[in-house]
Copies of this chain bind each other. A is one copy, B any other.
């Protein structure tokens, strides 16, 4: 396989070439400097796809739901891409599970593209990589991009919030610890899914959610009222209703003009994430220079982390 410069991959990806898309996704994940101009260029071609974040606590059944939702989108004739964020080792930086092959029913259909991404090594890069992967799919003409995250941890929540529509998946019968985590993500939902509604205790989960929404404890941004969609993978129910609700949300954002505010918020978050990554890169590059001296002062406790960081940023700006 010939190595192609990232910039040469861009026109191919824009034309929908899946091999070019796959290579760009790999470079989005690794965050290579060589690919930087290519992603800048790709970004100019984004803005058409509807981006849907799907998040939920462990055990909520969101992976099954995502697969079925993708199938329903395809059945309606639209192209769909999935960016799935995997838990992985913070030390190795690699995905332990590897790319998950779990979209069997969709295999061989060029209108579906599934990409698993590792959660990255120490501090950051995950949001940037995942959102650049979304850019690739958006620019390449996928109509809907689903971002699946596990819904625990700030990175994952940030990624879910970088979507036009955020779906939070709940399930009946989870433990107390899980419920506590769940509380942290309910408020970001535009659409709530209660999965496993074949279970007898699902009614209580649905009622609890609806009560919470009535009390305004989890009212979403703007004029849209978050909706609850029950689903059951066992009974094959609710997925079409979920897709309809996602489309309704997209239309409501457009009709009210709120889509502009939401895109502006996403842009601000992405700008900030990019800034943090630039800062990290420069820190690492400077590890044996000024950084080493500051670290020695930290070790002697003659400088605090905050004071040291202030000094370093001032210098980085001067040398930018």
Query: Does A306 count as interface, using CB distance less than 8 angstroms?
Result: yes
| A residues 277-316 touching B (CB-CB < 8 Å) | 277-280, 283, 291, 294-295, 298-299, 301-302, 304-310, 312-316
Question: Within 8 Å CB of A22, what residues of B?
Answer: none
Instruction: State whether A39 touches B274 (Cβ < 8 A).
Output: no
User: Which of B96, B183, B267, B305 interacts with A89 by CB under 8 Å?
Assistant: B183
Query: Does A268 count as interface, using CB distance less than 8 angstroms?
Result: yes
- What mask results when residues 32 to 62 of chain A are scored 1 for a CB within 8 Å of chain B, else 0? 0000100110011011000000000111000
Instruction: State whether B305 touches A43 (Cβ < 8 A).
Output: yes
Question: Within 8 Å CB of A309, what residues of B?
Answer: 271-272, 274-275, 277-278
CB distance from A249 to the nearest CB of B (A): 18
User: Which of B57, B295, B306, B316 interacts with A317 by CB under 8 Å?
Assistant: B316
Copies in the complex: 2
Question: Within 8 Å CB of A302, what residues of B?
Answer: 44
Query: Does A87 count as interface, using CB distance less than 8 angstroms?
Result: yes
Residue of A154, A180, A187 ringed by the most chain B CB atoms within 10 A: A154
Instruction: State whether A157 touches B90 (Cβ < 8 A).
Output: yes
Query: Does A185 count as interface, using CB distance less than 8 angstroms?
Result: yes
A12-20, A69-77, A120-128, A203-211: which lies at the interface: A120-128
Interface size range of chain A in the complex = 35 or more
| A residues 155-178 touching B (CB-CB < 8 Å) | 155-158, 161, 175, 177-178
Question: Within 8 Å CB of A120, what residues of B?
Answer: 154
- What mask results when residues 129 to 160 of chain A are scored 1 for a CB within 8 Å of chain B, else 0? 00100000000000000000010111111100
- What mask results when residues 98 to 136 of chain A are scored 1 for a CB within 8 Å of chain B, else 0? 000000000000000000000110111010100100000
User: How far is A187 from B92 in the complex, measured between Cα atoms in Å?
Assistant: 9
Question: Within 8 Å CB of A304, what residues of B?
Answer: 39-40, 43-44
Query: Does A252 count as interface, using CB distance less than 8 angstroms?
Result: no
Instruction: State whether B184 touches A267 (Cβ < 8 A).
Output: no
Query: Does A320 count as interface, using CB distance less than 8 angstroms?
Result: yes
Known: A120-B154, A268-B295, A271-B283. 19 other contacts (CB 8 A): A39-B304, A43-B301, A58-B58, A97-B180, A123-B154, A150-B152, A153-B156, A260-B299, A263-B299, A267-B295, A272-B309, A276-B279, A277-B306, A278-B309, A310-B320, A314-B317, A315-B317, A316-B317, A317-B319
What are 6 sample pairs from A and B whose C-beta atoms fall under 8 A apart? A44-B301, A59-B178, A89-B186, A120-B154, A123-B154, A152-B152
